[in-house]
């Protein structure tokens, strides 16, 4: 009996997906085909650091949300928090972006079916009906271009074909976590027309209690779906239309206080001491070191009449038309896409019941993109090439209302709007030439031209005559040429090596959180030169896979968000976005899989990143020399064990156990210790029984040791007098029933 093996090779950039073994077949791992370079090729012969995760791997490793990829990829950090569960910050090898304002672009590009996702809000969504995920580490400026300075995350949907299929699943866990998903694929006209429809519902009660009304916060409540209609009139033409949407109605993602400024408490002129003097003491909300952040309660602002008692939501939908035509040894591809986002995000910045600092941030965004690729080969396949054109247009509008110290000052309630339009054009070319049968030279480049226009202003809500930042228009152009040069060598059948040098570029822009005129100066683009070498090997008849990657990066004009005291007479904090000094990043990635028996697979990865600033910062205000880059632990690692066994002729059992580790992590450029997270590990496990009629029953658990850890944090000590942190999920567990036909 042939059985499906659920392989938990999370975080491994080696061909360990899609294992299909029986007890009497040789113990070996199969190759994975990836499209990291826009063409299909074996992962073990791809001169790029890429992690490929199949749908079976995603299921076995309990990767149900984009955020879970943090545990799956070396030197990757994906984190949420700051008011909304779907707000995501991504960092790869020290490069990313932690500023959520509508004007700042992500540093790690995220794609769904090769369509670029322009905003960080809505980026951490639940996964359903996914064929595979590829995470490309290092700058991908040539082929992926826009804001892929740190890397790219490619999410690929399942496409319909001639095979009819049904997959359903329902799970229940603690915190009343319920997840129900279904997907149906059906050929409408054999060999011509196919349809696939999928949907998912995910809800839970939340990990924290809102002490203002007794409801739960930090919860899940989202609904998503996708429909794909595919048409293949001939063997050379493939066209498919996709429509997807997500509706998120989760309560605010709240944090907890982790420190207070002694100086601010003692100073008679500080807003913190003044609030305490007026009977608004925020100190009871302080989280004691080592305490459980979930049992202490939380607070949100949905009952704030000054801000209009808003309710949080995130609505995202999009459509894309894909076409591929092959003729004369060439392939022409077109991707036309449109996406729209609307959201309301709430922030109780002080994390107490007092109306100290509260914000509501509404945003609306829509984007259109068009990409054309033409690829081919010549000279008996010794020469290959890919050329492309790309256009991206985005309109992003946002409004931030802040109720600052309402009980202390009448001028603390502000209203800021920010509208931005972006037009981006790019042309790119990638070439490859085989110098010998084993030695290959590759080169490429992309030129990007981008224009950003902004319109913004800030007033005081209860006194419209007070204008902090009068309505202002600004415009700026940004351009860059991003080249790549590489050399790879097939040393033996099972040993492949490469070296490469590549430039990455992230567009400049403006500060979407500007409340002061001087905070609206343009921010320069980020640039990085990356030098990488890799060795891909397999041993003992492919029973052992061992891969090693080394890299060094020179990172310049880093865009950093800081919070500083306002200088306009209004108490509180101003958000600034400035270019930091340069940084040097170096590191290693070791990935391995060992299959001693056909029933057992052992795997693991180890990532090392030494990422630190090399100079002064903020026009000389702070010296960050030797400071660690934020959201970048020096060490990341994971070990996995997968065991599969035939219980009978009709039942197969599988056990997956994984343990991941991350060393100390800072969450700001100044390395504030109060919001830093010390090294920690997370344990997870999944046990499943699969029947030959397609039914499966499974038990699962995440963070089984109930480790308390911070996943994000913001330093307000110098401005408001406190620090706030956002915590990862506590221990979760449950059972799942599924059926595949």
In the chain, where the domains are located: 33-740
Contact 424, 448 (CB under 8 A): yes
Distance CA 574, CA 563 (A): 6
Return the DSSP state at 39.
S
Question: What's the first-to-final CA gap in the chain, in angstroms?
Answer: 16
Distance CA 457, CA 514 (A): 8
Q: Is 674 helix (H, G, I), strand (E, B) or coil?
A: helix
Radius of gyration of the chain (CA): 26
Residue 24 confidence (pLDDT): 44
pLDDT in tens, 613-625: 987 665 555 678 8
Q: Which residues fall within 8 angstroms of residue 521, CB to CB, at 6 or more apart? A: 510, 511
Encoded tokens for 23: 């007890």
Q: Is 263 helix (H, G, I), strand (E, B) or coil?
A: helix
Encoded tokens for 551: 């890299």
pLDDT in tens, 162-201: 999 999 999 999 999 999 999 999 999 999 999 999 999 9
Nearest partner of 306 among 406, 190, 437, judged by Cα: 406
Q: Is 604 helix (H, G, I), strand (E, B) or coil?
A: strand
Residue 173 confidence (pLDDT): 97
Nearest partner of 141 among 155, 132, 151, 156, judged by Cα: 151
Q: Please check the confidence at residue 470 and state whether its pLDDT lies above 90.
A: no
Confidence of residue 20 (pLDDT cuts 50, 70, 90): very low
Q: Please check the confidence at residue 403 and state whether its pLDDT lies above 70.
A: yes
Confidence of residue 516 (pLDDT cuts 50, 70, 90): low
Contact 717, 710 (CB under 8 A): no
Mean residue pLDDT across the chain: 86
Domain 33-740: which CATH number of 2.40.40.20, 2.40.170.20, 3.40.30.10, 3.40.50.1000: 2.40.170.20
pLDDT in tens, 301-356: 666 666 767 788 999 999 999 999 999 889 999 999 999 999 998 888 877 766 67
Mind giving me the DSSP string for 642-658?
A: EEEEESSSSEEEEEEEE
DSSP-derived pairing of the beta strands 177-189 and 600-613? unpaired
Contact 23, 599 (CB under 8 A): yes
Q: Please check the confidence at residue 410 and state whether its pLDDT lies above 70.
A: no
Q: What is the rounded average pLDDT of the residues 599-607? A: 92
pLDDT in tens, 82-132: 777 788 899 999 999 887 777 788 889 999 999 999 888 888 888 999 999
Q: What is the rounded average pLDDT of the residues 203-224? A: 85
Residue 463 confidence (pLDDT): 60
Residue 464 confidence (pLDDT): 59
Residue 10 confidence (pLDDT): 32
DSSP-derived pairing of the beta strands 95-96 and 108-112? unpaired
Q: Please check the confidence at residue 2 and state whether its pLDDT lies above 80.
A: no
Place of tokens 């903020």: 618
Range in 74-88, 136-150, 254-268 with the lowest mean pLDDT? 254-268
Q: What is the rounded average pLDDT of the residues 696-712? A: 95
Distance CA 590, CA 596 (A): 19
Q: Which residues fall within 8 angstroms of residue 289, CB to CB, at 6 or more apart? A: none
332 bridge partner residues:
325, 374
| Residues 532, 535, 541: CA angle, nearest 5 degrees | 160
Place of tokens 């100190």: 283
187 bridge partner residues:
194
Q: Which residues fall within 8 angstroms of residue 369, CB to CB, at 6 or more apart? A: 115, 116, 335, 336, 337, 338, 390, 391, 392, 393
Alpha carbons within 13 A on the beta-carbon side of 498: 23
């Amino acid at each position: 009996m042939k059985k499906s093996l659920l392989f938990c090779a999370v975080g491994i950039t080696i061909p360990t997906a899609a294992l299909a073994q029986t007890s009497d077949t040789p113990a070996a791992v199969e190759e994975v085909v990836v499209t990291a370079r826009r063409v299909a090729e074996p992962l073990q012969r791809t001169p790029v650091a890429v992690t490929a995760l199949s749908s079976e791997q995603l299921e076995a490793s309990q990767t149900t949300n984009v955020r879970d990829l943090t545990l799956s990829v070396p030197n990757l950090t994906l984190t949420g928090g700051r008011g909304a569960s779907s707000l995501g910050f991504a960092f790869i090898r020290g490069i990313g972006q932690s500023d959520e304002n509508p004007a700042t672009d992500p540093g790690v590009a995220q794609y769904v079916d090769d369509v670029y996702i322009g905003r960080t809000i809505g980026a951490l969504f639940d996964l359903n009906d996914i064929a595979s995920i590829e995470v490309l580490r290092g700058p991908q400026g040539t082929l992926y271009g826009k804001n892929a300075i740190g890397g790219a995350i490619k999410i690929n949907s399942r496409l319909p074909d001639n095979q009819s299929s049904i997959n359903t699943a329902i799970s229940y866990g603690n915190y009343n976590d319920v997840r129900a998903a279904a997907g149906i694929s059906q050929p409408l006209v054999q060999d011509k027309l196919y349809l696939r429809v999928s949907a998912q519902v995910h809800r839970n009660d939340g990990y924290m209690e809102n002490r203002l009304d007794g409801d739960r916060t930090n919860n899940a409540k989202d609904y998503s779906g996708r429909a794909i209609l595919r048409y293949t009139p001939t063997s050379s033409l493939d066209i498919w239309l996709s429509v997807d949407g997500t509706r998120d109605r989760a309560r605010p993602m709240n944090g907890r206080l982790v420190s207070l400024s002694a100086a601010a408490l003692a100073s008679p002129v500080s807003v913190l001491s003044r609030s305490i003097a007026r009977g608004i003491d925020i100190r009871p909300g302080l989280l004691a070191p080592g305490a459980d952040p979930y049992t202490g309660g939380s607070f949100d602002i949905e009952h704030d009449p000054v801000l209009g008692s808003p309710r949080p939501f995130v609505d995202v939908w999009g459509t894309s038309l894909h076409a591929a035509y092959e003729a004369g040894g060439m392939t022409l591809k077109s991707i036309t896409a449109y996406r729209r986002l609307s959201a309301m995000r709430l922030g109780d910045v002080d994390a107490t019941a007092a109306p100290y600092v509260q914000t509501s941030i509404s945003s609306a965004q829509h984007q259109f993109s068009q990409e054309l690729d033409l690829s081919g080969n010549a000279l008996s396949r010794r020469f290959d090439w890919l050329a492309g054109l790309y256009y991206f247009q985005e309109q992003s509008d946002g409004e931030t209302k802040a109720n600052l110290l309402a009980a202390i000052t009448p001028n603390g309630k502000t209203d800021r709007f920010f509208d931005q339009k972006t037009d981006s054009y790019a042309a790119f070319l990638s070439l490859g030439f085989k110098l010998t049968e084993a030695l290959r030279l590759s080169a490429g480049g992309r030129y990007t031209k981008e224009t950003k226009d902004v319109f913004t202003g800030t007033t005081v809500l209860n006194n419209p005559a007070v204008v902090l930042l009068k309505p202002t228009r600004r415009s700026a152009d940004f351009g860059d040429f991003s080249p790549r040069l590489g050399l790879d060598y097939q040393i033996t059948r099972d040993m492949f090596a490469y070296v490469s040098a590549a430039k990455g570029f992230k567009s400049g822009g403006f500060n979407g959180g500007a409340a002061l005129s001087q905070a609206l100066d343009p921010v320069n683009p980020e640039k990085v030169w990356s030098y990488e070498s890799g060795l891909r090997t397999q041993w003992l008849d492919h029973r052992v896979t061992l891969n090693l990657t080394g890299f060094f990066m020179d990172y310049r004009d880093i865009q950093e968000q800081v919070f500083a005291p306002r200088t306009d007479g209004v108490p509180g904090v101003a958000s600034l976005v400035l270019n930091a000094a340069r940084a040097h990043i170096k590191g290693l990635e070791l990935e391995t899989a060992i299959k001693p028996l056909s029933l057992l697979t052992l795997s693991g990865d180890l990532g090392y990143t030494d990422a630190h600033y090399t100079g002064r910062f903020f026009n000389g205000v702070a010296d960050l020399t030797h400071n660690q880059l934020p959201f970048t632990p020096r060490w990341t690692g994971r070990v996995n064990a997968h065991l599969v066994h035939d219980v009978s002729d009709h039942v197969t059992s599988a056990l997956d156990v994984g343990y991941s580790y991350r060393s100390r992590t800072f969450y700001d450029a100044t390395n504030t210790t109060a919001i830093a997270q010390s090294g920690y590990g997370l344990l997870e496990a999944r046990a499943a029984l699969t029947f030959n009629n397609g039914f499966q029953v499974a038990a699962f658990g995440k963070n089984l040791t109930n480790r308390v850890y911070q996943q994000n944090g913001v330093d307000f000590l110098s401005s408001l007098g406190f620090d706030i942190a956002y915590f990862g999920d506590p221990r979760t567990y449950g059972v799942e029933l599924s059926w595949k036909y």
